[in-house]
Chains A and B, each alone.
Chain A
């Protein structure tokens, strides 16, 4: 297993390098002008100067090389210094990846935005899982019962209606009409009193609920199908022939087998916590990573887009590896040699 993990990490390195280059190349080849949003009165020479000051005067491979050094060397060193107080090398003249739009370091922006995303999207993912697994189990075990019929209908609706629609409906009903929940997520809210905590729960409720419904719909259908696949297998009959109770048959024999693909799917889905809720964050005005990416794209803030996109790629590669490892732990038939 250790060898497998090391080998996979070694393979991941060239993969990620290629991905980073492809992202860089695509962004560079795209028709794009960082001065495009400036007023028309700014003369052409000034625009040219601005472009040069952003580093655009240099050829592409030089800029890519600089980004690589900044991302893989300077930024980790900076995190070491800021986070742990360990200074390595020349900290004064170290260049960091700067956002074109705000001129602040990209990584700092990302660190600022991450907690909101983790709270809102992460919680919705967690709730989605917690709702989906029992629903999937009961639906499958009592197939075609009223519980299954209702559950299957709701999950089908939840799965097929996009979150930007359910989100809008939720805002109109609960914020505009009923005024139960705030429409805009307030990041500056500090949780230092019970009232503020209640406010925080209130402002998180709608985005979390909308996303959790969507995640749960997808996952519970998968869970149900996985249990149904196993319920009619011979080993289930064997367990019953031993005199095991239905609870043991379902929760030990069937569930252990059914969870293998589900847990893998959950692990593979974790990167989408960071990236996938782009639209939902936009609708509920949660200023998380998804919204940051949208703003960066709209403002042609190439360094920010490049860095964010690459980080999402890293997460996907890492969680693919984690999913494979989990698969190996859950299923004794899988051997990584």
Chain B
């Protein structure tokens, strides 16, 4: 299904925050590309820089304290990072849609659903109020909200969490974006609603054919829907591979550790779930060595001296690690 032409090419993005406790390096040179119609999963623990990377692309971070100090993001022949606010506004919500994590707070409590849903269409498609309203009703219908027409006059507090997230999806899809960035869209929802939202996204992706970046810390969710997965740690992508390859043949010790934290449904319940010991490093300095080395069971002497770059091992399986899983059982 995904074609080979990239819609989005991110090159060496780096973002830091100026805080009272000094600099915090949230994203330290992230590169990836997104092909047309592809679903890229981005996983990593809290604070690994997943959300900041994506918000950097549309400059949705408050600046200051945030500062984008390096990198390019090619989208439709222009570099998103270099665009001024007016140019960027044409992309936001129009060509790139964004779904946020917490549907309970992401909608304005004093404006009607109809108004908030019509906003991107009135902004980007120049629709009249009536056209936008009609399209809004269609969109609500598309994301599975019954009695769509009559619910346009309701306020967010009259919707449940799952319903609000559907509204957020409808807002993100309103202008038929080429890219949809979903920032942990199911994290704040309970499991049944999660499944429904996943179904909606899968269905709409097939119907509308957009590329999706799906940020999550839930490896189970991503396994079912992604074409390709990038694993982030400490503001770096440490491993990136097609989904089957990543789950079947993980190469980075961090990815391996993450996968071991998942419960296995097959076979006996043999042992307790494993955890990765230790804490992620502080982000006050860009690490000169591998940021995962202190927690890594396979750390080599070299890991403490040099930070490995993301290299393509084979078949688009990219890993940033000095250690080779197949060479030598123990190190």
Contact = CB atoms under 8 A, between A and B. Distances in A.
Contact of A257 (B92, B97, B108): B108
B92 A260 contact: no
B123 A235 contact: no
Contacts of A242: 92-93, 119-120, 123, 171
Interface residues of B, number: 30
Interface in B58-117: 58, 60, 62, 85, 89-94, 97-98, 100, 102, 105-111, 116
B155 A333 contact: yes
A239 B171 contact: no
Given A240-B60, A242-B92, A243-B124, A235 B85 contact: no
Contacts of A252: 111
B10 interface: no
Contact of A237 (B100, B110, B171): B100
Counting contact residues on chain A (CB < 8 A from B), the size range is 20 to 34
A253 B106 CA distance: 12
Contacts of A244: 89, 93, 119, 123
Nearest to B86: A245
B119 A237 contact: no
A232 B62 contact: yes
B157 A235 contact: no
Contacts, number: 74
B171 A332 contact: no
A298 to B, nearest CB: 49
A238 interface: yes
B92 A240 contact: yes
B321 interface: no
Interface in A15-39: none
B212 interface: no
Interface string A237-261: 1111111111000001100110010
B132 interface: no
A239 B108 contact: yes
A256 B111 CA distance: 8
B108 A253 contact: yes
Given A238-B168, A256-B111, A243 B105 contact: no
A241 B105 contact: no
Contacts of A237: 60, 100, 106
B123 A243 contact: yes
A243 B109 contact: no
Contacts of A260: 110
B258 to A, nearest CB: 28
B93 to A, nearest CB: 4
Contacts of A62: none
Given A235-B107, A257-B109, A332-B109, A241 B60 contact: yes
B246 to A, nearest CB: 29
Query: Chain A CB within 10 Å — which of B62, B106, B110 has the most?
Result: B110
Contact of B93 (A243, A246, A257): A243
Contacts of B105: 233-235
Nearest to B89: A243
B110 A238 contact: no
Nearest to A252: B111
A331 interface: yes
Contacts of B124: 243
29 contacts: A232-B62, A233-B105, A234-B100, A234-B105, A235-B105, A235-B107, A235-B109, A238-B100, A238-B107, A238-B108, A239-B108, A240-B60, A241-B58, A241-B60, A241-B93, A241-B98, A241-B100, A242-B119, A242-B171, A243-B94, A243-B120, A244-B89, A244-B93, A244-B119, A253-B111, A256-B108, A332-B110, A332-B157, A333-B155
Interface of A: 232-235, 237-246, 252-253, 256-257, 260, 330-333
Q: In the A-B complex, list the 9 residue pairs whose CB atoms are closest, starting with the nearest.
A: A242-B93, A243-B93, A241-B98, A243-B92, A234-B105, A332-B155, A235-B108, A243-B89, A242-B120
Interface of B: 58, 60, 62, 85, 89-94, 97-98, 100, 102, 105-111, 116, 119-120, 123-124, 155, 157, 168, 171
